Structure 1
Amino acid sequence: MAREYAIYDVFTGTKLAGNPLAVVFDAAGLSGEAMQAIAAEMNLSETVFVLPPDNPTHAHRLRIFTPATEVPFAGHPTVGSAVALSERRHGTPDGGLDLVIMLEEKIGPVRAAVKLQPGRPTFAEFDLPKLSEQLPLEPDADGLAAMLGLAPRDIGFENHKPSLWSAGVPFLIVPLRDVAAVGRIVFDRQIWARVSPADSLRRAPVYAYCRGGIHHEASFHARMFSPSMGIAEDPATGAAVAALSGALHRFDALPDGLNRLMIEQGVEMGRPSHIHLHIEVFGGAVSRARIGGEAVPVASGVLHV
């Protein structure tokens, strides 16, 4: 059977930057095993398979696979799929068009807003289906430093400390002293297999970050490593930023109101990505968080499976 697909670069307005995503538009009839095999064949950080929704009032159901496993939720597949599906249906209307679509993921319904603009990359953002929560962790600064090929003094900045957070997918969040330290990371997966906490499925990916960045608008600079997902390093990780939102609120004591942040990632890979994170705080607690970014098409084709 012929199934159309497209590849989008996500969290960027520039082709051949950001994080590439494959979107298979008609996945009806494919088994989970077939989807996993196709994702391994694509060998991108993630491949999305579009299915009819379980709830007829929703737009689509998505299944998201890395080269090694299925995940219940991910950021760049949500943004990229929202853009790809909206452009496929509406094109880029002359006067522009703002849409709100409901996407079903394994974590639950995800509300996405899409802005189609003639002559500009399409922007999409989504509400976190689950707010970030902290999980138990007994950090070993020496072990974390060895895992990253750094010195213990590079771990942490201000009052930011290593911690474990999840907004659907757990991430080991490791603050580093500065951009130079982030750039010096040499990730050791054997040490990671010893020091990273594990749930019933896999060991937690590592999200290393520092304050500031290369881009003048960057609030934070980050890198992500996930051997258990088959991802040596990821150019942009929305699910990690979703997890990071909880750590930023805790360590920075974000004020009530709307806090607008931009996280850059992928710089060291030559695929700079810009992830917009909006955190709404009310009464000292996070009431809502959104992640957004641009996405641009770079390829299309047909799968004969």
Structure 2
Amino acid sequence: MTGYLVYDVFTDRRYGGNQLAILPDARDLPEAELQLIAQEFNFSETVFLYPPDKPGHDARIRIFTPTMELPFAGHPTIGTAVMLGDAGLGPDLVLELGIGPLNARVEGSRASFTTGMALKRLAAPETALVADALGIAAGEIAARPVMATLGLGFTFTPLVSRAALAACSPDIAAFRRGAEAHPEGMDFAQYAYVEDGNTIHARMFAPLDNIPEDPATGSAAATLAALLAEMRGAPVALTIRQGEDMGRPSLIEASATPGGPVTVSGEAVPVTRGELLR
């Protein structure tokens, strides 16, 4: 039998944050079953762990949403680092992902990772299209949306108020139009946010990937930090609050320098364990 663990990530308590299923030893699982297992858990991501390909590294990570494999995602990286720390590894880790090796550090229930990937701006979707996707009036959008990536493409949209963020009600037909117009993004995944100094209130929607709303999105937090550092022309240290409008509050810390590396950190806690029946 193959065991699994479930962690809640970007939270210091159970039943908050973003759920993550981890299969610590996936070597005996048939390739054709990986996507089916991720579908069965139906979390935003499921992680399958393998021995590392290179000596000196700690684990090879494969990450699946309910619909596809991803080269990188933030909350699976944080949750896996905490799990490996619970298993006695660390504090310094090198994790092999689809984007290449990633340095991480774990201390108790808190982990961080640093990526040196360059920020890429992919597109500037029309404000009206993004407003339709978010289900809000175009006047609630504070500036032209930007589609950007540090490994996964999201559309980043600043809103004028916390009330506008709470009012978002995604329209899947508009998401389909956006995905057709901008295939370079991750199915037109939308990251809407409100700035309050260095505190960010955010929501992320990816309904075309069977993720109606994500409680915490570390990869998007990393890209937002890189974007804001570039826009402000100065280092940023952000506290990002996500998941509050769906009852799973999450807290993500992200820091970046203009053109420099980005660090994301947060906590994770174990919730359940079990076995897949074969």
- Short-chain TM bin: over 0.9
Q: Which residue in the other structure is 1:119 paired with?
A: none
Provide the rounded CA distance (Å) in 2 between the counterparts of 1:236 and 1:152.
Answer: 25
TM-score after normalising by structure 2: 0.94
In structure 2, the partner of 1:288 is: 261
Conservation of the 8 A alpha-carbon contact between 1:100 and 1:111: yes
Say whether residues 1:131 and 2:118 are aligned partners.
Answer: yes
Contact 1:132 1:244 in 2 (8 A): no
Distance 1:201 1:144, change over 3 A: closer
TM superposition shift of 1:86: 1.3
> Which letter does structure 1 place at the counterpart of 2:241?
E
Distance in 2 separating the partners of 1:254 and 1:11: 26
1: CA distance between counterparts of 2:22 and 2:44?
12
Distance 2:28 2:66 in 1: 20
Aligned with 2:254 (options 270, 277, 297) = 277
User: Which ranges of structure 1 fall in alignment gaps of 5 or more residues?
Assistant: 91-97, 117-121
Q: Paired residue for 2:131, among 132, 145, 148?
A: 145
With normalisation by structure 1, the TM-score equals 0.86
Q: Is the Cα–Cα contact under 8 Å of residues 7 and 298 in structure 1 kept in the other structure?
A: yes
Deviation at 1:129, TM superposition (A): 4.8
Q: Cα distance 1:201–1:278, how it changes in 2: closer, same or farther (>3 A)?
A: closer
Tell me how far 1:250 sits from its aligned partner.
3.0
What percent identity do the matched residue pairs reach?
A: 40
Paired residue for 1:94? none
Partner in structure 1 of residue 206 of structure 2? 226
Separation in 2, partners of 1:187, 1:89 = 42
Secondary structure, aligned partner of 1:89: coil
Of residues 122-131 and 290-299 in structure 1, the stretch that sits farther from structure 2 once superposed is 122-131
Displacement of 1:287 in angstroms is: 1.6
Residue number among 182, 193, 198 corresponding to 2:182 in the alignment: 198
2:215 paired with 1:235: yes
Which of 145, 159, 182 is the matching residue for 1:176?
159
State the match for 2:234 in structure 1: 254
Amino acid at match of 1:210: V
2:259 aligns to what SS in structure 1?
A: strand
The residue identity in structure 1 corresponding to 2:119 is: S
Kept in 2, the 8 Å contact 1:133–1:246? The answer is: no
Partners of 2:193 and 2:202 within 8 A in 1:
yes
Partners of 1:129 and 1:250 in 2: how far apart?
A: 14
What is the correspondence of 1:66-215 to structure 2 with a 5 Å cutoff? 66-89=65-88, 99-116=91-108, 122-137=109-124, 139-156=125-142, 160-196=143-179, 197-199=181-183, 203-212=187-196
How many residue pairs were aligned? 277
Q: Is the 8 A contact 2:122 2:184 kept in 1?
A: no
The range that moved more, 178-187 or 145-154, is 145-154
Deviation digits for residues 83-110 of structure 1 (CA, Å, limit 9, x no counterpart): 01110236xxxxxxx6000010111101
Over alpha carbons, which structure has the higher Rg?
1
Aligned counterparts of 1:63 and 1:12: Cα–Cα separation in 2: 22
Distance 2:14 2:266 in 1: 14
Shift of 1:30: 2.1
- Higher mean C-alpha deviation, range 195-204 or range 292-301: 195-204
Deviates more, 1:203-212 or 1:287-296: 203-212
Runs of 4 or more consecutive aligned structure 1 residues displaced over 3 Å after TM superposition: none
Give the aligned residue type for 1:288: P
Cα offset for 1:174? 1.1
Q: What is the CA-CA distance between 1:240 and the residue it aligns to?
A: 1.0
> Cα 1:200–1:154, aligned 2, differ >3 Å: closer, same or farther?
closer
1:172 and 1:200, CA in 2 relative to 1: closer, same or farther beyond 3 A? closer
Deviations 1:147-193 (A, max 9, x none): 2121111011xxx4310100001101111111110000010010111
- Superposed CA RMSD in Å reads 1.8
How has the CA–CA distance of structure 1 residues 200 and 244 changed in structure 2, closer, same or farther, with 3 Å as cutoff? closer
Looking at structure 2, the residues matched to 286 and 136 of structure 1 have their Cα atoms a distance apart, in angstroms, of: 19
